[in-house]
Amino acid sequence: MRMIQRPAACCATPSEPPPLPDSETLVARFKALGDATRLEVFRLIAAQEAPLCACDIVDRFDVSQPTISHHLRVLRQAGLITATKRGVWMYYAVVPRGVAALGQFLAGSVQESAAAAD
Amino acid sequence: MRMIQRPAACCATPSEPPPLPDSETLVARFKALGDATRLEVFRLIAAQEAPLCACDIVDRFDVSQPTISHHLRVLRQAGLITATKRGVWMYYAVVPRGVAALGQFLAGSVQESAAAAD
DNA sequence: CGAACATATTGACAATCATCTATCTCTTGT
DNA sequence: ACAAGAGATAGATGATTGTCAATATGTTCG
């Protein structure tokens, strides 16, 4: 038997979050950006006006080439960057749609809570 | 001696990403949202029009109460939610400023790459 | 073909992390 | 004061992950 009564806000059924089309993808993208090295790699790619060669990325970091390759794969599998092969070189560029999806999710999150904040 | 010549795009010095005020905070926030359970907790809080009682969160998930408490702490330390104590209950709400910071970073990332696209 | 190079893959290892059980702290109602 | 409930903390454990060295794959040049 519950001795302490819950306040009204506790008992009222909380609002359901809006249905999320692809939660798994969202998690993968946030996780992909949730690593210091990987975020820097992403930032470097995003800062370019043209697809960036992998060699240029490796040159700029202290970690090994396989590690950079691994990070690039994670970012690519998350749908945040694309990889294009030209000859021996791989060129990476941001996928605007993938990044925008994250932004839209965040925008929706603040919008919902904005109704409450005075 | 380098036998294969790098294409122009490789040799041209890549653009520097814009200076990032607080990279560590950004990583912590992305990492906080990069877990399935935690993202759902965040979504539930964001869906409310008023701060949500922790008990209502615990009720909605299959994981234990300490696990929820852990996730709430991670989200709070990342600056994505705030915690307010009222009596015995803890109420959690989204920090719009914290979420917006993520959105602005993403918006900047797509904007930079947009100049190159098409 | 064969050498050189760019990138990816594999396997291993240490570190981080999500989760649990048990316990603790604090607040409230009697 | 005391019992009960809400939530946080501590410690342990299995899983995930970031990193590296070594190797593989594929491409270009001579």
Distance between CA atoms of B24 and A42, rounded to whole angstroms? 15
| DSSP β-bridge partners for residue B92 | B52, B83
For chain A, say whether B96 makes contact (Cβ under 8 Å): yes
Residue B84's Cβ-count burial label (10 Å; 0-12, 13-18, 19+) is exposed
For the stretch A24-53, pLDDT in tens is: 999 999 999 999 999 999 999 999 999 999
- Of B31, B40, B50, which has the smallest distance from its Cβ to A9's Cβ? B50
Give the pLDDT confidence score for residue A2 in this predicted structure.
47
For chain A, say whether B30 makes contact (Cβ under 8 Å): yes
Q: Compute how many other C-beta atoms are within 10 angstroms of the C-beta atom of residue A30.
A: 24
Distance between CA atoms of A82 and B56, rounded to whole angstroms? 41
Residue A94 contacts residue B111 (beta carbons within 8 Å): no
- Of B52, B60, B112, which has the smallest distance from its Cβ to A46's Cβ? B112
- Of A35, A102, A115, which has the smallest distance from its Cβ to B49's Cβ? A115
Torsion of CA A67, A41, A76, A82, to 10 degrees: -130
If one compares B20 and A55, the residue with the highest pLDDT of the two is A55
Nearest to A42 by CA among A83, A68, A65, A75: A75
Give the pLDDT confidence score for residue B15 in this predicted structure.
77
Q: Spell out which residues of chain B touch residue A44, defining contact as CB-CB under 8 Å.
A: 14, 17
- The fold of the A22-113 domain, in CATH, is Arc Repressor Mutant, subunit A (1.10.10)
Q: Which of A25, A29, A48, A84 is most worth mutating to test chain B (most B CB atoms within 10 A of its CB)?
A: A48
Residue A84 contacts residue A93 (beta carbons within 8 Å): yes
Token pair belonging to A27: 């998690």
Instruction: Give the percent of chain A with pLDDT over 70.
Output: 84
Q: Is the pLDDT of residue A91 over 70?
A: yes
If one compares A103 and B4, the residue with the highest pLDDT of the two is A103
Residue B52 contacts residue B44 (beta carbons within 8 Å): yes
H-state helical runs in chain A = 8-11, 23-33, 36-46, 54-60, 65-77, 96-114
Q: Does domain B22-110 have CATH number 1.10.10.10?
A: yes
Closest amino acid to nucleotide C23 (CA–C1'): B66
For chain A, give the mean pLDDT: 88
Nearest to B77 by CA among B37, B117, B25: B25
Contact B23 A39 (CB under 8 A): yes
> Domain spans of chain A?
22-113
Give the pLDDT confidence score for residue B107 in this predicted structure.
96
Distance between CA atoms of A93 and A50, rounded to whole angstroms? 7
- Residues 59-88 (B) with a CB less than 8 A from some CB of A: 60, 86-88
Give the gap in angstroms from C-alpha A74 to the nearest C-alpha of chain B: 13
Q: Mark the ranges of chain B whose per-residue pLDDT is less than 50.
A: 1, 3, 116-118
Burial A67-102 (b: 16+ CB within 10 A, else e): ebeebbebbbebbbbeeeeeeebbbbbbbbebbebb
